[in-house]
Amino acid sequence: MNLKRFITALILFPLLVLVLLKADFLIISLLILLTAFLCFYEWKNLYEFSSFFWIFGEALLLIAFLLVFKYNMPLLFIFYFFLFFSFLPHLFIYEKELFKKNFPPFLAGLIYIFLGLYPFWEILQHFEREYLIYFFSVVFANDTGAYLTGKAFGKTPFFSNISPRKTWEGFFGGIVLSLIVAITLNYYLELVESKINIVISLLLAIAGCIGDLLESAFKRAVNKKDSGKIIVGHGGILDRLDSVLLASPLFLIILKILKTF
């Protein structure tokens, strides 16, 4: 196992739990914003946007989060906001190749990052913080289980055209560890019924795995290995949060469904 990866995880995860349990809501909101800014910076590096599009994208993310945080704007409005303003600069500087190169990944990056981080703000608003402890524990357990099992026993390629090093053995190893963590946490926290807990952990593990593959596909499209180097042993913020960004909207949907019963 990568020792740097292990040590980094050993430091960062308890810190994350501490912040989620004890930090003021405003502090966590600011951390969500900071994470969004760092993610878009890495996204800019992946797709090699100019400084103008980088700063413009950061400004759009800031405004979008403020509109949600302060005015509770619906998501449909936010997506329209992104679409409208992503195209606006091209009215003045339209070039066919520039539009083809910048517009699709620019818009996709805004939606991808916003949609992946927004659910945490809403969960903090309407649900107990323990749900987020559960979420991160299950998703990161899936990542860890897939990594360790894949390293030790991985032989059968798992969508190798997207990520050559992933294996089916790793996939099932991740699911097993996420189930163990979900069952253990739910035993102490008593968040949901046992059968529902198993279903939720399976859905989160699968969504997290697909999120990992999605970010791999993004990087493969631009021939990049990592999104950045900010986290020792893990790469960039996007590399560490790839599973989280796709699983978080699903978790919010699940919580809303459970709340109606």
pLDDT (tens digit, 9 = 90+) per residue, 29-65? 999 999 999 999 999 999 999 999 999 999 999 999 9
Q: Which of 172, 166, 182 is nearest to 215 (CA)?
A: 166
Q: Band of the pLDDT at 236, cuts 50, 70, 90? A: confident
* Residue ranges making up the domain that contains 93: 3-259
Number of domains forming the structure of the chain? 1
Percent of the chain clearing pLDDT 70 (strictly above) = 95
How far is residue 85's CA from residue 105's CA, in Å, rounded to a whole number? Answer: 14
Model's pTM, two decimal places? Answer: 0.93
Name the amino acid, one letter, at 163: S
pLDDT of 239 over the 90 cut: no
Residue among 98, 109, 97 at smallest CA distance from 54: 109
Say if residue 108's pLDDT is above 60. Answer: yes
